[in-house]
Structure 1
């Protein structure tokens, strides 16, 4: 994969660069947030590895401005902070995944590979539909009653999985396996965070109840009609 590392700590950067290049990745490095932002604007990458605390331009601002500029490249954010508030702020800026320092290189590489696989989320040629919700997987476009939803790559992947399993209860473990490519939750509530984000998108159309919580079992995508035993929250 072609990767961009934006990291100001040279020790960490050299560690990551050596490991990723040994795995066969093509890696570019910028140690300043502003320089990294300009590089990401002008060059195509598969994944951007973005530190949170950077000189020149803070990592969340880099992420937010890239998304505002229409850059859809997947972003893995690195930070020494690990509170739920920090997690939500990072995802709110448009990050696709999140790792706290210190981290094992093997986990970093696995996360990057999982993000890279999602770059081909539009391989399938068919259309997924549920009520007013329509997912064109060729164009990677999601609309509700004709109005487009602007999603991150992880949101696309999660919604695609829920729509493919429409009407079925899917556990958090199955979601993690199919969307994050892992059987363990690296962040205790990452699935719940992304479910909330999808519901927020759907709430603009009064359709947040399309994703329901089945207590003790997981989640289910359904038409807007209520069904017994399903609790939306």
Structure 2
């Protein structure tokens, strides 16, 4: 089971990331400042770091710089401010493996985590998810019903992935919003219901069950 270090000082975002990673089968550890983050990163106990830039004690750029100076090749996914091209360029030039701009969708973050772990030869979760005759190929991001490929948008695929990964479990609309649309999405939106309708049309009406008063479930 891969261990992920999350260095993020905003409690709401840190909790959002940690809960999501745990649900996906990873083991997250959260710290809230750069100095502690650097010390943890150098412990050799982690497979990847999710690193915020705006940290107290030591900012994310400095953490990244010191890691590389110490010879650490640990993959780092940097969280940058919204639309900050300067932060993005600086992070990549400083040795980051990838970056995410805030606000972000959890499904995209976890896909990037898996990609970076795979590229470093770390153990990752199964590349296929199945439910009945529906199969999702996580590597190519393609969906199939039986042998027939079905075209899904990025959001449709992310929603299908979350539901199938947690098959047998009823997920609330709020949980699905957080995983697929991000932590700052309007909780009053009916976008989940709309996209469940899209999945039923494309992957079969029986795939997703409505759980009255709760949300949705894939059996």
- Measured against the shorter chain, the TM-score band is 0.5 to 0.7
| Match in the other structure for 2:33 | 32
* Deviation of the 1:71 alpha carbon: 0.6
| Match in the other structure for 1:3 | 4
* Deviation of the 1:182 alpha carbon: 7.3
Superposed structure 1 runs of 4+ greater than 6 Å apart: 180-184
Total equivalences in the alignment: 126
The answer to whether residue 20 in structure 2 is matched with residue 16 in structure 1 is no
| Match in the other structure for 1:109 | 110
Structure showing greater relative contact order (alpha-carbon pairs closer than 8 Å, 6 or more residues apart): 2
Which ranges in structure 1 are unaligned for 5 or more consecutive residues?
122-179, 185-233
**The residue matched to 1:89 in structure 2 has which SS?**
helix
Determine if contact 1:32/1:57 at 8 Å carries over to the other structure.
yes
TM-score normalised according to structure 1 size: 0.51
* Deviation of the 1:44 alpha carbon: 2.9
Which ranges in structure 2 are unaligned for 5 or more consecutive residues?
123-138, 143-152, 154-219
| Match in the other structure for 1:91 | 92
TM-score normalised according to structure 2 size: 0.54
| Match in the other structure for 1:77 | 78
Q: CA RMSD in A?
A: 2.1
| Match in the other structure for 2:65 | 64
CA 182–80 in structure 1, closer or farther in 2 if over 3 Å, else same: farther
* Deviation of the 1:88 alpha carbon: 1.1
